C-alpha cells in the first residue's frame, strides 16, 4: 500500500504540493526539471504480506513500478543508461499507463534509478530537525531516486504525471497513486 509519493529537495527536506489537479493528484512545482528527489513509501496491505523491494529485475517486473506520462531526459529506451558505461540517457513515457509485461523495460529503466530503504535511520528524507526519517510514520519501506533527479532524467517544462504501484513479496500490486511534477 503506497503511503506517500512526492518530492524532496536535494537535502532531503520534503516539499509541499502547491495544489491539486482536476484528477485529484497533488501538484509539485519545480523551477527546474532536475536537482530534487522523488520519494515513494509503502507499508503492508490488508494481506499483511511484506512489501517487495526490487527496483530492477532483468527480463522481469520489479516490485517498484513507477511510470511517467512524458519522456524524462532524452527519453532513451535503453534500460539503465545512467552514464556508468559511457551511456547517459533518459526514461521513456508509458502511455497509456501500463504496469505489466509490455512496460517491463520502461519500469526497469525507471526503477534502476531508485534505491529501496528499509528503516527510518536509512531514509533519504529528513524531518524539520534534519533527522533521517520516513515521510509517513506508517511506512515500512522507502524508494528514493538515487542520487536524485539529474539531467539524465530531467523533467521537461510543463506537467508530467507520475504514477506508482508497488507489489508485495507475492507479486500482488497495490493501488496506483499519482502526482504531477510541474516544471516552469
Counted domains in the chain: 1
Cα separation, 40 vs 54, in Å, equals 13
- Beta-bridge partner residues of 135: none
Q: Which three cell numbers stand for residue 121?
A: 535511520
- CA 43 from centre of chain: 15
Note the pLDDT tens digit of each residue in 23-76.
999 999 999 999 999 999 999 999 899 999 999 999 999 999 999 999 999 999
Neighbours of 80 (CB within 10 A): 18
Mean per-residue pLDDT for 113-135? 89
User: 128-157: per-residue pLDDT in tens?
Assistant: 888 999 999 999 999 999 889 999 999 999
Nearest to 105 by CA among 68, 86, 80: 80
Write out the residue range of the structural domain in which residue 90 sits.
2-183
- Measure the CA–CA gap between 49 and 23, rounded to whole angstroms: 30
Amino acid at each position: 500500500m503506497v503511503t506517500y509519493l512526492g518530492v524532496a529537495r536535494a537535502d532531503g527536506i520534503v516539499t509541499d504540493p502547491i495544489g491539486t489537479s482536476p484528477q485529484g493528484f497533488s501538484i509539485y512545482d519545480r523551477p527546474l526539471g532536475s536537482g530534487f528527489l522523488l520519494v515513494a513509501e509503502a507499508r503492508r496491505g490488508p494481506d499483511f504480506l511484506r512489501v517487495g523491494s526490487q527496483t530492477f529485475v532483468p527480463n522481469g517486473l520489479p516490485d517498484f513500478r513507477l511510470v511517467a506520462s512524458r519522456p524524462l531526459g532524452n527519453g532513451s529506451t535503453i534500460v539503465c543508461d545512467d552514464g556508468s558505461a559511457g551511456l547517459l540517457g533518459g526514461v521513456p513515457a508509458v502511455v497509456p499507463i501500463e504496469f505489466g509485461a509490455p512496460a517491463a523495460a520502461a519500469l526497469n529503466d525507471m526503477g534502476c534509478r531508485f534505491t529501496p530503504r528499509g528503516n527510518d535511520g536509512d531514509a533519504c528524507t529528513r524531518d524539520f530537525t534534519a533527522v533521517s526519517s520516513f515521510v509517513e510514520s506508517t511506512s515500512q519501506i522507502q524508494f528514493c531516486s538515487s542520487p536524485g533527479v539529474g539531467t539524465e532524467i530531467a523533467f521537461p517544462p510543463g506537467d508530467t504525471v507520475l504514477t506508482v504501484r508497488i507489489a508485495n513479496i507475492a507479486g500482488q500490486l497495490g493501488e496506483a497513486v499519482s502526482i504531477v511534477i510541474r516544471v516552469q
